[in-house]
């Protein structure tokens, strides 16, 4: 029952946020366009509910083709691929605001497991049956794993945290995650990858 309420709240609040924050979205768009070459919006394929692919939207904070340069999908402190304005919008998580459109469309929720890349930490075919549980709900802008280590949590454990969230999903848990997320954003905690967070899928059994 709560999942229906959750979806209704997502629609209402994402629409309100898009209207209220439209001046901020416009200003950030103009600044990005004026300060670096490339599109304002960064688009990337992610895995959503049911393991289906969808296009996630972010304000572009890095140079064009950043994934093919430097450390690939990882972004550490002082990464030269991050633009000047990119450093600011990443530190404040403003780069995530275009995902309000993903929420309104039904691709995402405010709270849920963070959607992984189609190839990272590993392809969908390599997730175990237990790990596939993380795709039973819409992915979120923030989630239980993000408030329990954010970008420094190794992926096997990150998936375990996401599955725990799904097994215990409730309005009060979502409210708790929301407040913890705001606290972490204000403190700018764990917003950089200090080390590689993908190791061998330890829960897989080799035949």
pLDDT in tens, 115-140: 999 999 999 999 999 999 999 999 99
pLDDT of residue 73: 59
* 17 occurs within a structural domain: yes
- Residue 67 CA, distance from chain mean position: 16
Q: Is residue 199 part of a domain?
A: no
Residue 127 in domain: yes
Domain membership of residue 6 (yes or no) is: yes
Q: Is the pLDDT of residue 204 over 50?
A: no
**Quick one: what percent of the chain has pLDDT higher than 90?**
71
Tens digits of residue pLDDT in 7-29: 999 999 999 999 999 999 999 99
Q: Answer whether residue 145 is part of any domain.
A: yes
| Domain assignment present for 180 | yes
Distances (CA, A) of 34 to 3, 27, 37, 80, 179: 41, 11, 8, 19, 34
- Which of 88, 79, 104 has its CA nearest to residue 28? 88
Per-residue CA distances from 120 to 96, 139, 167, 200 (Å)? 19, 15, 24, 12
Domain range for 131 is 2-187
Is 202 domain-assigned?
no
Q: pLDDT band for position 68 (50/70/90)? A: low
Q: Pull the structure tokens for residue 114.
A: 């963070």
- Say if 195 falls within a structural domain: no
Percent of the chain with pLDDT over 70: 84
What pTM value is reported for the model? 0.86
**String of DSSP letters for 154-202:** -HHHHHHHHHHHHHT--HHHHHHHHHHHHHHHHHT-S-S-SS------T
- Looking at the structure of the chain, the number of domains it has is 1
The DSSP 8-state label assigned to residue 41 in this structure reads E
């Amino acid at each position: 029952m709560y999942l229906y309420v959750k979806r209704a709240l997502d629609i209402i609040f994402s629409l309100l946020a898009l209207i209220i924050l439209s001046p901020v979205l416009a200003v950030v768009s103009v600044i990005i366009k004026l300060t670096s070459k490339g599109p304002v919006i960064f688009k990337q394929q992610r895995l959503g509910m049911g393991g289906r692919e969808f296009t996630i939207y972010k304000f572009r904070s890095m140079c064009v083709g950043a994934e093919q340069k430097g450390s690939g999908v990882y972004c550490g402190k002082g990464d030269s691929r991050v633009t000047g304005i990119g450093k600011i919008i990443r530190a404040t998580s403003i780069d995530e605001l275009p995902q309000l459109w993903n929420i309104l469309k039904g691709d995402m929720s405010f709270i849920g497991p963070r959607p992984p890349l189609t190839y990272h930490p590993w392809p969908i075919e390599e997730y175990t049956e237990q790990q596939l549980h993380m795709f039973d709900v819409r992915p979120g802008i923030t989630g239980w794993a993000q408030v329990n280590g954010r970008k420094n949590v190794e992926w096997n454990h990150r998936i375990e945290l996401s599955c725990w969230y799904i097994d215990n999903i409730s309005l009060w848990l979502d409210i708790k995650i929301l407040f913890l997320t705001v606290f972490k954003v204000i403190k700018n905690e764990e917003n950089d990858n200090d080390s590689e967070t993908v190791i061998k899928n330890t829960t897989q059994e080799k035949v």
